[in-house]
Structure 1
Amino acid sequence: MSLEEGRQIVGEQDQQAIVREFTYLLEKSKQLFNGIRDLPQFGQKQWQGYFARTFDVFTRLWRFQQQNRQTLDACFGLKRWQIGEIASKIGQLYYQYYMRTCETGYLQEAFSFYQAVRSRSYYANVLKEDRADLMVKKLRYYARFIVVCLLLPKLDVIVDLIKEMSKYVEEYVKKYESADKDDWKLVLQEVSSFLEANSLVTVVDVNSMPVAVTHRLDTSNQPTATAAGDSPTKRKSLILGEAFIVGNTTEQVKFSELTLDMFRMLQALERKPTQGCIDENSLDKNSANEDDSPVNVRNPHKFLLYKPTLLQLVNFISNGVKELHNQSVVLLYLSASGVEAQKANYEDGPYCHGGVSVKDFKHDDFTKKPPQLKETHCFYPGDLLPFTRRPMMLIVESGASQAFSSMPRLFGQPLICLLAPRNFPSTFQDTSRTGGLLTLFLYSPLIALCYVCGIADIRFSLWEQCQKHVKKTLLHVRNLILHSKEIDHSYIKFMDDMFLSELIVRFVFFMWVMRNHAGFKGPDFQPRCVPLLPEDDVISNSSVQSLMLELTLKLDVRSLFSL
């Protein structure tokens, strides 16, 4: 055998080894990726190790195909759509990890891989493959990319993605006449409706072009909670441990099992990202943990429950609560259609005044029940009582929210209920298209104030001025709460956690607007909180009045407020 023949044999053996290694990594990655859907929702120790192994295999696979692209092209027949599929799965992996850890840094990383698929046109020629399943993969990639862009937000990218996806859906429908063609048209319709519904107020630049602004919590310069005659060192600090975000409002705009209210509440419980997008070549599962936030706080873990059954909801809460530390607070957010009590009920109790609907509730069935029987598919205040053994904040965005106004503190733990008004003026009643007002104020007080005042566009320079003023006002409300001698101690205990305290002060902002806006006069239009906040010390405090009126002057809407 000649030297040249020997080198050729060695070269072929090396190539075969490369193909074998790539095939092994590819199959292993598919196996691990498919296993993610079977991971338990609860128990971080059970799923975190699995994610670590999956990240490791995908890291090796991604780098291996980069380093051996020429050999894989020649000997494996590696196609661009296959590279795109790997990158897309990495993006999905980061998104799934974000959903479990709630750290927004992973969203940024998911975006970088999804964007690489698009910028490098990995799926550009799948139509030529004449395979319907590849077109479906391409369309699913676009749908997932849009979800990530909605959450970041990347509005300019979303517009382009919708145009591109519309084109590809048309191509798919025209060529394959598949049974799922209406489903893909519905996806496009849902995302367009979602974007329109979430654009109640547009921030624009000097050229009247939309500016993307984030509504996540800015953790810079966050003060430390210190009540009058108290200090954080004298009491055990409570932190928000688990948040359950439930969406079951009839016909409310949604996309990918995220209703508009759920989408907003999700972001209200997250801090503003401090990391930029990572490089596509990086796949470090710990990178999002290396955050230099001034307050070094983690986002609370959240369960997103779209139209759960009653048993599913109770199961999620019980399992989530079971994993909490002693000083953790449970937050339950309910955005759901109301279930009123069947008739005037002279009994008093946690099952006597209605509640909110869960999946499978049908109003017609409820009206046929004997008055003494309760609705099976209704979540009553009584269903929540076992969980009040833990400190809890309850937020109810429903016309039947007042059913939760008499929640007893049977176990002596802090309990705060923030409840939406029973009704709204006719102009604001269609929450299926705009979302709930309480949620909107908790999500972005300034957006909400502009909306109820009829401001559709606001200049970016004015937006920044008003945002600073809103932050100043909320900080002042926070100090009033901490130094009030009449306030229930539940509020004081919750003020140590920046997310809980921000929700409380934004609720006060909401109460002030509803009380003083000329279009919301009447008891049915007023929100309620339990325990009650002190009138003189907080809600009607003269300094709060002055700050709020100053804000209305900046927005030129003072005439809408009667004082």
Structure 2
Amino acid sequence: MRTSEASYLSEAYIFYEAILTREYFKEGSFQDFNLANKQLRFLARFLMVCLVLNRREMVHQLVNQLKMLVDECKRTFQDTDFKEWKLVVQEIVRFLKADTAFMNIRPLRYSLVLDPHPDVLPHVAAPVARKNLRLRDAVLSSYHHNEVKFSELTLDTFRMLQCLEWEPSGSFYLSAGGKNGQNGALGSSRINHSQDIADPTLPPNPRKAVLYRPSLTHFIAVLATICEELPPDGVLLVYLSASGTTGHTLSPSGSGTCFNAAENITRDFQSHTIHSDGTSTSSMSSPSNSPNPSASQKKGDCISYHTGCLQFGNCGSGGLNCIYPSDLIPFTRRPLFIIIESDASEVFKAISGAEKGERAALLLSPNCSFPIGSSDASRHSVGSLLTIFLTAPLQAFCLLLGISGSDIEMDTYKHAESLLSSSLNDWGLTLATSDNLDPVWAQILGDQFLRRFLLRFIFCRAVLTLFVQTYNKEEFHPECMPALPDAVSPRTSAFQTAVVQLAKLFHATKRFVFTEAIPLPDDINSGTRS
């Protein structure tokens, strides 16, 4: 998981498959409690390998075998309730129920068949892109109360993990028909080990560190290690998905002006000057030190404040499981691409302008997330909205409209996929040829993974901006920093045309608000698909 070497996972798959097909646990597993536990641990580890390798047929077969084994162990060893293993079964069943076949119609991974080849991506002019950065490492962390997960792999981090991999095309990954061995054991057509299990035609995957409920010290230690090893042309992706607090300010009743959380953080970063002799002075030490006494007085009116943060643990643990924007500032000496999925994402705006060396690129989720999926589905039973748009944009569009996999015809889906792919490529070209593209975005457009995230973010922003139920409601719109060119604004005719074409395919044009300048399809009055 740390190295993201596909060959390591492939070797693990071969090893575990050999254990399974040769039925190493056939004899004595129900007579020896320790042996039964070993078999359960083996199945759980094999499940994780198959899940990451996207071997779904094997995953479902292993889940069935795990269920049967847990039930048999409960009957055989009645002194033990196997409560932990029942929880493991519940977790994987819930995970597969959320990560449906509809969400995996097309690979989440970068596919040279479905996605643009890196060699044909449009180049940004040299004066704009001072550097051409490549995604080398990623830190993925997610924690929400009662979220869908298997072991320490949450649904959000799993989708991001998959989206940062190359879709393999080597012989090892070709679908193999399964067959049953004795006593229901699983088997598959044998792999030709003379062929290389790695795909030499693909570049290496970015390295990834998946952290579940990290303490602040653990999180910082991982970031520090990665930044130390990051090559000169490398960029680090930091993905954080968690609930949070936006912070608040307190002022004397009836008077004073209090600043929002982002302003508080920025002011905190800029309020001290460190001199060469080691002494420090504060620009807020007294009103007389300020060139603008009235401004200083306003700052003084806020008698206390605390900034917002993301909570990666129980509230009772205090700040040990909280990640603040200021915790990321020291690492902005290296290029960072930051994605925040939280109801407190706005507080991370304070990072922009407070960097220590390299300007950071930020994609921030809406503070309020529009409910998707079935009416009884909680936010985290299907995953977080921005994350779904970044990893499976067309499925996110359908879920926003209340359309599930059973409601859609494959011909319609393929047509919509073609339209969206064409639009994303056009928007990528628009960015690459823009005269006012910020260098922060220009230097990452040459990386296929980061480029895809950025273009899908633009699509997400356009959809939520034009969606009837979130129209003119800024709290439901994602944001990015620094700002993107006006040419990719959601209200331009090109973006509205792309959204209206997709909406027409799903008979949902009335679910969006378009300007009069946009020609609407003839069946605009056809209503929303039931």
TM class by shorter-chain length? 0.7 to 0.9
Partner of 1:182: 83
Distance of aligned partners of 1:239 and 1:425 in 2 relative to their CA distance in 1, 3 Å threshold: closer
Residue by residue over 1:311-370, the C-alpha shift from the partner in whole angstroms, topping out at 9 and shown as x without a partner, is 0000000011100111110110001111231445536225753011133543xx76xxxx
Distance of aligned partners of 1:148 and 1:384 in 2 relative to their CA distance in 1, 3 Å threshold: same
Instruction: Say if 1:106 and 1:288, in contact at 8 Å, map to a contact too.
Output: no
How far apart, CA to CA, are the structure 2 residues paired with 1:313 and 1:390? 16
Instruction: Say if 1:248 and 1:337, in contact at 8 Å, map to a contact too.
Output: yes
Match of 1:123 among 6, 13, 25: 25
Partner of 2:292: none
The aligned amino acid for 1:472 is: S
Instruction: Say if 2:342 and 2:365, in contact at 8 Å, map to a contact too.
Output: yes
How far apart, CA to CA, are the structure 1 residues paired with 2:336 and 2:199? 30
Instruction: Say if 2:372 and 2:379, in contact at 8 Å, map to a contact too.
Output: no
How far apart, CA to CA, are the structure 2 residues paired with 1:235 and 1:219? 27
Partner of 1:546: 497
Partner of 1:238: 133
**Higher mean C-alpha deviation, range 302-311 or range 163-172:** 163-172
Instruction: Say if 2:6 and 2:198, in contact at 8 Å, map to a contact too.
Output: no
Partner of 2:312: 358
Match of 1:324 among 230, 238, 241: 230
How far apart, CA to CA, are the structure 2 residues paired with 1:514 and 1:144? 39
* Offset of residue 554 of structure 1: 2.3
Instruction: Say if 2:243 and 2:342, in contact at 8 Å, map to a contact too.
Output: yes
Match of 1:147 among 48, 69, 75: 48
* Offset of residue 193 of structure 1: 0.8
Partner of 1:93: none
Counterpart check, 1:169 vs 2:70: yes
Report the 3-state secondary structure (helix = DSSP H, G, I; strand = E; otherwise coil) of the residue aligned with 1:550. Answer: helix
Match of 2:2 among 71, 80, 100: 100
Distance of aligned partners of 1:393 and 1:111 in 2 relative to their CA distance in 1, 3 Å threshold: same
* Offset of residue 462 of structure 1: 3.2
* Offset of residue 511 of structure 1: 0.5
* CA RMSD after TM alignment: 2.7
Distance of aligned partners of 1:213 and 1:148 in 2 relative to their CA distance in 1, 3 Å threshold: farther
Match of 2:143 among 240, 248, 266: 248
Counterpart check, 1:419 vs 2:369: no
Counterpart check, 1:527 vs 2:443: no
How far apart, CA to CA, are the structure 2 residues paired with 1:117 and 1:557? 51
Partner of 1:63: none
Instruction: Say if 1:155 and 1:212, in contact at 8 Å, map to a contact too.
Output: no
Higher helix proportion? 1
Instruction: Say if 1:420 and 1:527, in contact at 8 Å, map to a contact too.
Output: yes
* Offset of residue 287 of structure 1: 4.0
Report the 3-state secondary structure (helix = DSSP H, G, I; strand = E; otherwise coil) of the residue aligned with 2:465. Answer: helix
How far apart, CA to CA, are the structure 2 residues paired with 1:384 and 1:180? 44
Report the 3-state secondary structure (helix = DSSP H, G, I; strand = E; otherwise coil) of the residue aligned with 2:499. Answer: helix
Instruction: Say if 2:172 and 2:197, in contact at 8 Å, map to a contact too.
Output: no
Q: TM-score if structure 1 supplies the norm length? A: 0.72
Counterpart check, 1:518 vs 2:468: yes
* Offset of residue 241 of structure 1: 1.5
Distance of aligned partners of 1:141 and 1:495 in 2 relative to their CA distance in 1, 3 Å threshold: same
The aligned amino acid for 1:133 is: N
Instruction: Say if 2:239 and 2:339, in contact at 8 Å, map to a contact too.
Output: yes
Counterpart check, 1:444 vs 2:392: yes
Instruction: Say if 1:154 and 1:212, in contact at 8 Å, map to a contact too.
Output: no
How far apart, CA to CA, are the structure 2 residues paired with 1:517 and 1:281? 49
Partner of 1:292: 201
Instruction: Say if 2:309 and 2:344, in contact at 8 Å, map to a contact too.
Output: yes
Counterpart check, 1:202 vs 2:108: no
How far apart, CA to CA, are the structure 1 residues paired with 2:435 and 2:485? 9
The aligned amino acid for 1:100 is: R
Query: Among the aligned pairs, what percent are the same residue?
Result: 30
Residue by residue over 1:23-55, the C-alpha shift from the partner in whole angstroms, topping out at 9 and shown as x without a partner, is xxxxxxxxxxxxxxxxxxxxxxxxxxxxxxxxx
Partner of 1:557: 508
Instruction: Say if 2:29 and 2:39, in contact at 8 Å, map to a contact too.
Output: no
The aligned amino acid for 1:131 is: D
Distance of aligned partners of 1:282 and 1:395 in 2 relative to their CA distance in 1, 3 Å threshold: same
* Offset of residue 535 of structure 1: 2.9
Instruction: Say if 2:330 and 2:356, in contact at 8 Å, map to a contact too.
Output: no
Distance of aligned partners of 1:426 and 1:542 in 2 relative to their CA distance in 1, 3 Å threshold: closer
Partner of 1:32: none
How far apart, CA to CA, are the structure 2 residues paired with 1:197 and 1:313? 28
Partner of 1:501: 451
How far apart, CA to CA, are the structure 2 residues paired with 1:218 and 1:538? 28
* Offset of residue 390 of structure 1: 0.7
**What are the equivalent positions in structure 2 for 1:43-122 lying under 5 Å apart?**
99-122=1-24
Partner of 2:239: 333
Unaligned runs of 5+ in 1: 1-98, 204-210, 367-374
Residue by residue over 1:356-400, the C-alpha shift from the partner in whole angstroms, topping out at 9 and shown as x without a partner, is 1133543xx76xxxxxxxx45421111111100111111001100
Report the 3-state secondary structure (helix = DSSP H, G, I; strand = E; otherwise coil) of the residue aligned with 2:247. Answer: coil
How far apart, CA to CA, are the structure 2 residues paired with 1:523 and 1:555? 26
Unaligned runs of 5+ in 2: 174-188, 251-257, 269-305, 515-530
Instruction: Say if 1:242 and 1:320, in contact at 8 Å, map to a contact too.
Output: yes
Match of 2:436 among 462, 486, 490: 486
Report the 3-state secondary structure (helix = DSSP H, G, I; strand = E; otherwise coil) of the residue aligned with 2:449. Answer: helix
Counterpart check, 1:474 vs 2:419: no
Match of 1:216 among 93, 105, 109: 109
* Offset of residue 178 of structure 1: 5.1
The aligned amino acid for 1:272 is: E
Counterpart check, 1:386 vs 2:339: no
The aligned amino acid for 1:313 is: F
Instruction: Say if 1:473 and 1:548, in contact at 8 Å, map to a contact too.
Output: no
* Offset of residue 175 of structure 1: 1.1
How far apart, CA to CA, are the structure 1 residues paired with 2:235 and 2:11? 29
The aligned amino acid for 1:529 is: C
* Offset of residue 101 of structure 1: 2.5
How far apart, CA to CA, are the structure 1 residues paired with 2:59 and 2:463? 33
Instruction: Say if 1:357 and 1:377, in contact at 8 Å, map to a contact too.
Output: yes
Distance of aligned partners of 1:281 and 1:459 in 2 relative to their CA distance in 1, 3 Å threshold: closer
Partner of 1:9: none
How far apart, CA to CA, are the structure 2 residues paired with 1:387 and 1:267? 25
Q: TM-score if structure 2 supplies the norm length? A: 0.77
Report the 3-state secondary structure (helix = DSSP H, G, I; strand = E; otherwise coil) of the residue aligned with 1:217. Answer: coil
The aligned amino acid for 1:480 is: T
Instruction: Say if 2:135 and 2:235, in contact at 8 Å, map to a contact too.
Output: yes
